[in-house]
Amino acid sequence: MSKVIMVHETGGPEVMKVEDRDVGDPGSGEARVRHEAIGLNFIDTYFRSGLYPAPNGMPFTPGNEGAGIVEAIGDGVDDIKAGDRVAYVGAIGSYAEERLVPAASLVKLPDSIDMRTGAAMMLKGLTAQYLLRQTFKVEAGQTILFHAAAGGVGSIACQWANYLGATVIGTVGSEEKAELARAHGCHHVINYRTENFVERVGEITGGAKCDVVYDSVGSDTYPGSLDCLKPRGMWVSFGQSSGPIRDFNLALLAQKGSLYAVRPTLFTYIAGRSSLVAMANEMMALISDGTVKIEVNQNFPLQQAVDAHKALEGRKTTGATVLIP
């Protein structure tokens, strides 16, 4: 039996309940993984609250990433074996001590990456990869604005963008988070609670503005993010931590300089195993050599998932948070 977090009805953090479930043997194309760490992400709260529908209906187990040891494999699995150290993202149901995972979602962890880092890096690190390397390919000499720069994705992406040679501007919600953003690659940091981020971007860039804005905040930063872009710049909306954007006006893109807007999601980019492995290998190489550091700043026992969600939604976390079975 495995301790599992279950959601039988959508709502606040308190709808998550601890239950015992039989994991069973892996079927064809599956592996049974014993978790050593489980990643916590904002998308988990979207499924729990009902903002996003659970992919397989109700009830469900939250969580999209984890790291652990392969206990057994099913038929047709030839590149993963029992005993392998692995991590994964994209298979909902990770809030559990043990679970069955599609083997195609698993990547092998090098010895240089510990389990907590492995659990924390997959969704956030691969999100940074597709944002910076695919959605808008950041190059040396460009200027980027990254909202929530001290958050899980932001702290990774700002280090990576700095490595790529970009000028990195980040927004944060406190002076404590401003220090974290500076320590993780931001050349300029804006506290949006005390400063107008649109005006500050104009001052920092001498009126030139940014090539791209990466925005996971949503309603609180729209349409201000558009005013931070150069003509023909790109607004990448990849989350909505402050709430969904209402009444998006496509005509604003023309009025504000023939702008581009895109709403990508990680799961499109990692739908093919070859893409997943290539993206993960690039990310893990930068983590292994110290170019990108994954800061796991909060650890909660799995059975305290309710408290972890409250901390995340209350913006009381920095960097990454993991649940420990």
Q: Domains (ranges, CATH) in the chain?
A: 2-122+270-324 (3.90.180.10), 140-263 (3.40.50.720)
Rounded CA gap, 124 and 121, in Å?
A: 6
Residues in CB range of 194: below 8 A, 6 or more apart: none
- What are the φ and ψ backbone dihedral angles of 92, each rounded to 5 degrees? -60, 140
> How would residue 195 be classed by pLDDT, with cut points 50, 70 and 90?
very high
Say which residue the tokens 């506290």 belong to: 191
Collapsing DSSP states into helix, strand and coil, what is residue 173? coil
Structure tokens at 236: 């990448």
**Of 108, 107, 138, residue with least CA distance to 270:** 107
Q: What is the pLDDT of residues 20-39, one digit of tens each?
A: 999 999 999 999 999 999 99
Say which residue the tokens 């220090």 belong to: 179
The mean pLDDT value of the chain amounts to 95
Task: Kindly report the pTM of this predicted structure.
Answer: 0.88
For the chain, percent of residues with pLDDT exceeding 90: 88
What mean pLDDT comes out for the span 68-75? 97
- What are the φ and ψ backbone dihedral angles of 163, each rounded to 5 degrees? -60, -35
Taking the C-alpha atoms of 35, 55, 238 and 162 in order, what is their torsion angle to the nearest 10 degrees? Answer: 20
Q: What is the pLDDT of residues 197-216, one digit of tens each?
A: 999 999 999 999 999 999 99
Q: How far is CA 140 from CA 79, 219, 261, in A?
A: 37, 30, 22
> How would residue 40 be classed by pLDDT, with cut points 50, 70 and 90?
very high
Collapsing DSSP states into helix, strand and coil, what is residue 207? coil
**Of 228, 167, 172, residue with least CA distance to 199:** 228
Type of residue numbered 117? T
Taking the C-alpha atoms of 233, 163, 134 and 237 in order, what is their torsion angle to the nearest 10 degrees? Answer: -50
